[in-house]
Amino acid sequence: MSFGWLFPAAAQTCLYTIHGVVLDVHDETPMEEVSVYLQELGLEVWTDEKGHFTFDNICLGDYHIIFQHVGCPTQRLLLLLNKDTTLRVALEHHQNMLHEVDVHDHHDDALDERRLGKLALDANSHKSLAATLEQVSGVSTIANGADIGSPILQGLFGNRTTIVNNGVVHKGQQWGTDHSPEIDINSAAVVSVVSGAGIIRYPGSHMGGIVVLQSSPIPFDPHLHGKVASTVETNGRGGTVNTQLYRGLKRHQWRIGGTFKRMGDRSAPDYFLNNTGTQQNHLNAEFHKQFTRLDWKTFYNYYGAEFGILRGSHIGNLSDLQAAFTRIQPFYTDTVFSYNIDAPRQEVHHHQLKSAIAYKLQNGEIELNTAVQRNLRREFDIRRSGRSVKPALSLLQYNLQNEVVWSLGKKIEMGYQFSGKNNWNLPETGILPLLPNYTSFTNGVFVSHRTQKRKLKLETGARYDYVARNVVRLTSNQPREIERFADRYHSVALLTRGTVALDKKWQILGEIAFKQRPPEINELYSFGLHQGVSGIEEGSIDLNQEQGLKGSFHLRGLLGDRFHLDLNGFGHVFNGYIYLQPSQEYRLTIRGAFPVFTYEQCDALLYGSDAKLRFTLSNRWMLESNWSYVFARNRSENLPLNFIPPLSGLNELHYEIAEWKEWRNLAVSLNHRFSAAQWNWDPSLDLAPPPDGYHLWNLSLSGTFKAWKNEPQIRIGIENLMNTTYRDYLNRQRYFADALGRNITLSWLQNF
């Protein structure tokens, strides 16, 4: 949103005029039927076909003007009225669409990122980060139950993805397929999946794109503003409340917010999923201060969560596992609903504190950033004699990241980064730990460059990291002895991409990127029973760095005025791809036989495509279709790779009405989600065959109720409308139980 104050003219008290024009931020076309509300006086006008609006005979004073339009996040602006004023307001309308002329600089990056803005995040404030990201085409989720999930970007997840929150690489225990990133989406205003030169500056183990969460700038407005968003859900009989408060003064701004979420047992269409409740408490705070040439921002985030894990998914040995697979209903299915969270469960506490200093130089800008993170993860299994209250896994991690970055506009960016990590097991488990204790230090340098030559935008980037890791663990043989390891890695990342604007309607890009990734701690050293894989997991200390070469292309454009196409394709060749291979032999223990999984390396190939088609039928009707497919092959063994998203589609029919009776911005969406069975699969790779494909229907109805002074935004959603029984290939719970049945949600969002 941008504002401009034009030609002031003299006038007398209460004879002032506010005149304005509302434009689309992308192509500066006038926007019709935008509601413009002068809050202090309770006056509302609508923009005409040229985007104009006028308030006459207004007194001297401070006014809040609120702009609302279907498909746009609500915008508020503070006006200190002391003369006749003309406003020029730009609204973000239907992002992710290419418009005829992209006049603003920041839309140069339209092809580099796919984003979820305020509207999408508000509609999903009760969901996890991974579940919310599923709406971005090409993104799926690897999950364990309803709330634990981690994003998959073009077939890559866990150690191979990086999540950046407030500019800081998020560090926790990313290694498990049953570990969620410890981030609350409610503290962010934009969540995007980013590729291109923009990702070179982020150290991390990502082999493809990264996920970036950003908070919104705090607009100038000395009054206290904020929002309350609450959602109640029928499946799980719980709810989420999020509150954000902010205030923007000339020289400093602040924001503080919190989220509380309580859910009980979820249910599949035919039975309760016992012990699948959740409790989450999150806090976010930020403070910005501007000096003459220096900008200081500080952020604090706390994420606390307790996740219940389906009781029937905890297994003792191979025969328990096989018995669980053959059940129609999981063991321990109870007819009584409960909010209790018992073992097996996870408890996580994550703190992030960041300070960012930006200093404007004669040439460019220099940034000095520091962040500290503390991550505590405790996992509780079912144990004898009341030991279920003792964690079976208890890991504490401290992480420090420092960086100095110099940039010249968007042209050149270079910097040095240091990060240190100390990760250890708390000796409270009474179990030989799955992972060793370790410290890890990374020193990295990077440089990236962008140029624009007529219709071609060229980006290149390179980075080098030196990783030094010291590891200490106990031997698995009695008597236990201490073993020490020192790992050193040099890793390199290179990237180049070109974007061509073919004409005003079509853009095409091509990219080639090379990256090395040192093996992670779990891939090298894990040893022991891991409930997250239902077996004994063993690392291999002789793993080498993984190397990936990825080529991608992206085409985006408009056919006529109504048909929008976004087509993405990639091929990713890996050398030394690290994967968890189920062994054909079983390990005999006193508890019987266990499946054994070991980390191995192979040459791998992943390729795939995602496509988004959007058809604007009229001002009111819109049809959208998203499809994505990834094919993955272990070329050394000539076998498929595990946990690759199957063919999936997301289709949506959307209908909007600007005003109807007491409502404004009414929108109805019917969406259809399809997932095929994973046919690219081999029995030697998995404990059970992939589940069948499924179709799900979701419906949502949202609008602003204008009869009430504060104009609440109300949304009713029905997920799994037909109460379909299904299992999702990428959710570990599918081995044991059906996925969630119908869920009706009611959300209430109040801006003030």
530 touching other proteins, by CB under 8 A? no
Subset of residues 62 to 91 that bind other proteins, contact rule: CB under 8 A: none
Closest by CA to 749, choosing from 263, 260, 242, is: 242
Binding-site string for other proteins from residue 271 to residue 300, where x marks contact by CB under 8 A and - marks none: -------------------------x----
Distance CA 458, CA 462 (A): 14
CB 614 within 8 A of CB 624: yes
User: CA 392, 687, 323: angle at the middle one, nearest 5?
Assistant: 75
Among 452, 544, 589, 710, binds other proteins (CB under 8 A): 589
State which of residues 86, 439, 460, 750 lies at the interface with other proteins (CB under 8 A): 439
Compute the least distance from the CB of residue 687 to other proteins, in Å: 16
Torsions phi, psi of 748, nearest 5?
A: -135, 120
Q: Does 536 bind other proteins (CB under 8 A)?
A: yes
180 vs 394 by CB, closer to other proteins: 394
Q: Which long-range contacts (CB under 8 A, 24 or more apart) does 64-67 make?
A: 64/38, 64/39, 64/40, 64/221, 64/223, 65/18, 65/36, 65/37, 65/38, 65/39, 66/35, 66/36, 66/37, 66/39, 67/22, 67/34, 67/35, 67/36, 67/37, 67/91
Alpha helices in 425-517 (DSSP H): none
Decide if residue 59 touches other proteins (CB under 8 A): no
| Residue closer to other proteins (CB basis): 243 or 470 | 470
Beta bridge partners of 301: 284, 352
Taking the least distance from each CB to other proteins, the nearer of 355 and 724 is: 355
Binding status of residue 216 toward other proteins by CB under 8 A: no
Q: Omega before 646 cis (within 30°)?
A: no
Binding residue for other proteins, selected from 216, 230, 470, 750, defined by CB under 8 A: 470
Half-sphere exposure of 742 (CA within 13 A, CB side): 10
Query: For other proteins, which is the closer residue by CB, 194 or 529?
Result: 529
Handedness of CA 662, 666, 672, 673 (dihedral sign): negative
Q: How many CB atoms lie within 10 A of CB 8?
A: 11
631 interacts with other proteins by CB under 8 A: no
Where in 726-745 is the site for other proteins (CB under 8 A)? none
Nearest residue (CB) to other proteins, 380 versus 594? 594
Q: Which is nearer to other proteins, 422 or 625 (CB)?
A: 422
Size of the site for other proteins (CB under 8 A): 64
> What's the burial of 94, exposed, middle or buried (CB within 10 Å: 0-12/13-18/19+)?
middle
Q: Quick one: 222 or 316, whose CB is closer to other proteins?
A: 316
Does residue 590 interact with other proteins by CB under 8 A? yes
Binding window for other proteins (CB under 8 A); candidates: 63-71, 445-453, 583-591, 702-710 = 583-591
Does 587 contact other proteins by CB under 8 A?
A: yes
Report whether 549 contacts 513 (CB < 8 A): yes
Q: By CB under 8 A, is residue 363 in contact with other proteins?
A: no
Residue 93: partners with Cβ closer than 8 Å, 6 or more residues away: 24, 25, 26, 31, 69, 71, 72
What is the residue type of 454?
R
Burial of 721-735, coded b for 16+ CB within 10 Å and e otherwise, reads beeeebbbbbbbbbb
Closest to other proteins by CB, 114 vs 421, is 421
DSSP state of 111: G
Judged by CB under 8 A, does residue 4 bind other proteins? no
Gap between the Cα atoms of 342 and 328, Å rounded: 23
Q: Which two tokens stand for residue 266?
A: 């979820």
Residue of 44, 320, 342, 686 interacting with other proteins (CB under 8 A): 320
314: contact with other proteins by CB under 8 A: yes
Strand partners, 718: 699, 744
Q: Tell which phi-psi region holds residue 112, choosing left (phi > 0), alpha (psi between -120 and 50) or beta.
A: alpha
Asked if residue 306 lies in contact with residue 276, where contact means CB atoms within 8 angstroms, the answer is: no
Contact 595, 582 (CB under 8 A): yes
Q: Are 349 and 281 in contact (CB under 8 A)?
A: no
Considering the rule CB under 8 A, would residue 234 count as an interface residue with other proteins? no
Residue 527 or 629: the one with the smaller Cβ distance to other proteins is 527
**Minimum distance from CB of 738 to other proteins (Å)?**
18
Distance in Å, CB of 301 to other proteins, minimum = 18
Single out the residue of 287, 418, 663, 705 in contact with other proteins (rule: CB under 8 A).
Answer: 418
Do 46 and 38 meet the contact criterion of CB atoms below 8 Å apart?
no
DSSP for residue 172: S
Task: Output 39 or 370, the one with its CB closest to other proteins.
Answer: 370
Separation between Cα atoms, residue 728 and residue 223, nearest integer Å: 47
Of 77-85, 224-232, 394-402, 575-583, which segment contacts other proteins by CB under 8 A? Answer: 394-402
687 makes contact with other proteins (CB under 8 A): no
Among 17, 230, 234, 402, binds other proteins (CB under 8 A): 402
Q: Least distance from C-beta 175 to other proteins, angstroms?
A: 17
Contact stretch for other proteins (CB under 8 A) within 25-33, 128-136, 557-565, 588-596:
588-596
Residue 317 found at the interface with other proteins (CB under 8 A): yes
Select 125 or 401, whichever has its Cβ closest to other proteins: 401
Nearest to 539 by CA among 525, 529, 528: 525
**Ranges within 476-505 binding other proteins (CB under 8 A):** 476-478, 480, 482
Q: 256, 400, 549, 699: which one contacts other proteins (CB under 8 A)? A: 400
Q: Which residue, 598, 492, 503, is CA-closest to 548?
A: 492
Instruction: Rank residues 175 and 296 by Cβ distance to other proteins and give the closer one.
Output: 296
Q: Is 252 in the site for other proteins (CB under 8 A)?
A: no
Mark the segment that binds other proteins (CB under 8 A) among 202-210, 475-483, 653-661, 696-704.
475-483
Q: For other proteins, which is the closer residue by CB, 1 or 468?
A: 468
In the range 591-610, which residues lie near other proteins by CB under 8 A? 591-594
CA–chain centroid gap for 93, Å, is 22
Stretch that binds other proteins, among 32-40, 228-236, 378-386, 694-702 (CB under 8 A): 378-386
Going along 132-251, which residue ranges are E strands? 139-144, 148-153, 163-165, 168-169, 190-194, 210-214, 221-233, 238-248
Q: Which C-beta is closer to other proteins: that of 138 or that of 312?
A: 312
- Cα separation, 470 vs 512, in Å, equals 33
The nearest distance, CB 373 to other proteins, in angstroms, is: 12
Q: Does 466 bind other proteins (CB under 8 A)?
A: no
Half-sphere exposure in the Cβ direction for 639 (13 Å, CA): 16
**Can you tell me which of 160, 227, 288, 473 binds other proteins, judged by CB under 8 A?**
473
Using the CB atoms, write b or e for 461-492: b if 16+ within 10 Å: bbbebebebebebbeeeeeeeeeeeebebebe
| Using rule CB under 8 A, residue 54 touches other proteins | no
Of positions 124, 125, 429, 568, contacts other proteins by CB under 8 A:
429
**Residue 105 or residue 481: which is nearer to other proteins going by CB?**
481
Kindly state the smallest distance separating residue 486's Cβ from other proteins, in Å: 10
- Where does this chain bind other proteins (CB under 8 A)? 296, 312, 314-317, 319-320, 323, 331-332, 355, 357, 370, 372, 382-385, 387, 398, 400, 402, 418, 420-425, 427, 429-433, 436-439, 441, 470-478, 480, 482, 527-529, 536, 587-594
